[in-house]
Amino acid sequence: MAHVLIIGAGGVGRVVVHKCAQNSDIFDKITLASRTLSKCERYRDEVKERYDVDIDIAAVDADSVEDLVRLIEKVKPDMVLNIALPYQDLTIMEACLQTGVHYLDTANYEHPDTAKFEYKEQWAYNDRYREKGIMALLGSGFDPGVTNVFCAYAQKHYFDEIHTIDILDCNAGDHGYPFATNFNPEINLREVSAKGRYWQKDEKGEGKWIETEPMAIKMVWDYPQIGPKDSYLLYHEEMESLVKHIKGLKRIRFFMTFGESYLTHMQCLENVGMLGIEPVEHEGCKIVPIQFLKTLLPDPATLGPRTKGKTNIGIVAEGIKDGKKRKIYIYNVCDHEETYKETLSQAVSYTTGVPAMIGAKLMMESKWMRPGVYNMEQFDPDPFMEELNRQGLPWHVEEL
């Protein structure tokens, strides 16, 4: 039995609250806290109506360590699930350290003023978490998250050595708007408008990051249950930990699908400066263009009832087993309308929120529990893979 404090009542937070309430045999007490209390109230009422589960709510400013420590000391949870934004990772990790409470998140720390993410600052907590006897699980969403677990599962059951990995992320959902993002627009647009990057070993066997212009590398991949889609190479955070933990790796890349309309809108917004993260002066007040754009765009949490179609996210791994070459594809297909029926959320929030709940469940059941700071592939993938099948994200393995 566990008491969890969920921070962030956004699109993903909603799914986490629903899934924790569905698993109330493990999560016997749930507290949801966010900046805006009215969002917490809404989700509290939903959960009561659907599952007859009572949850507590609170307002918190997760940018303030003091505020967080005060809340954690009052609520006394066994762990904190950080489902706010990547900007809050370090303050929440710090508050967990000060109060001796386990931590989990779904996205890598990002500084609001630099559109760049890396694990360095979160990994730097490892010794202090270990000394305090608490654990942090980093990136327990889908990608990062399930994709890391797929890689660990491939390594454990299918290969002696994995040489190449392609992570393939397709969202073929249609929400009917000319332009909208499926999760926080600011985080999403910062990610996809950044330069691409992949990792490869050179002839001397040294691993190097190779940078590309945004969207410069494109391939067409035939996604099962969806069909062929243009897929573009991006940098994505799970590659940073996977290059450390997957044996024999020679190359890893990440591809995401984008439709022509999305790319044209994004290019246009970028050309006129709407993706800028530096404040600009407008009639006497300072505004950050990308934050203003977020205000204009549809709230991802409202896309659920209008989104139709499927997502397919997976990995293709190539390597050697018993001296022979092998190539496998592990993926999950998720249907936007089905996830809406279950949790009032579209599939991008669902595919992130379900793994966050599973990560917390495995920690609270002591199946994944070790003091220190960890990425997903550092644990036994089997219990996580079993939970995916049970909790609404069944997966397939194909030999290619």
> Residue numbers of the site for ligand NDP (CB under 6 A)?
8-13, 34-36, 39, 60-63, 83-86, 88, 106-107, 139, 141-145, 183-184, 187, 300-301, 348, 352
Which residue number, 12 or 334, has a Cβ lying nearer to ligand NDP?
12
Closest to ligand NDP by CB, 319 vs 355, is: 355
Helices 336-343 and 11-22 meet at what angle, rounded to 10? 60
- Nearer CB in complex with ligand NDP: 184/257: 184
Q: Least distance to ligand NDP from the beta carbon of 46, Å?
A: 14
The least CB distance from residue 108 to ligand NDP, in Å, is 8
Residue nearer to ligand NDP on the CB measure, 62 or 269: 62
Q: How far apart are CA 273 and CA 256, in angstroms?
A: 24
Q: How many CB atoms lie within 10 A of CB 389?
A: 11
The C-alpha atoms of residue 380 and residue 395 are separated, in whole angstroms, by 17
DSSP code of residue 92: H
Residue 311: phi and psi, rounded to 5, are -110, 150
Name the residue nearer to ligand NDP (CB basis): 74 or 208: 74
Q: Provide, rounded to whole angstroms, the least separation between the CB of residue 13 and ligand NDP.
A: 6
Dist. CA 222–CA 374, nearest whole Å = 33
> Least distance in Å: CB of 373 to ligand NDP?
17
Closest chain position to ligand NDP (CB): 10
For residue 142, the minimal CB distance to ligand NDP (Å) is 4
Paired residues of 161 in beta bridges = 320
* Nearer of residues 102 and 294 to ligand NDP, judged by Cβ: 294
Give the nearest distance from C-beta 223 to ligand NDP in angstroms.
17
Closer CB to ligand NDP, 163 or 310, in the complex: 310
CB of 248 to ligand NDP, least distance (A): 26
Contact 326, 399 (CB under 8 A): yes
| Contacting residues for 27 by C-beta, under 8 A, at least 6 apart | 2, 3, 4, 20, 21, 360, 361, 364
Alpha helices (runs of H) in the chain, residue ranges in sequence order: 11-22, 37-51, 65-75, 89-99, 120-123, 126-132, 146-157, 185-192, 238-245, 260-271, 289-296, 336-343, 347-364, 381-390
Other CB atoms within a 10 A radius of the CB of residue 347 amount to 30
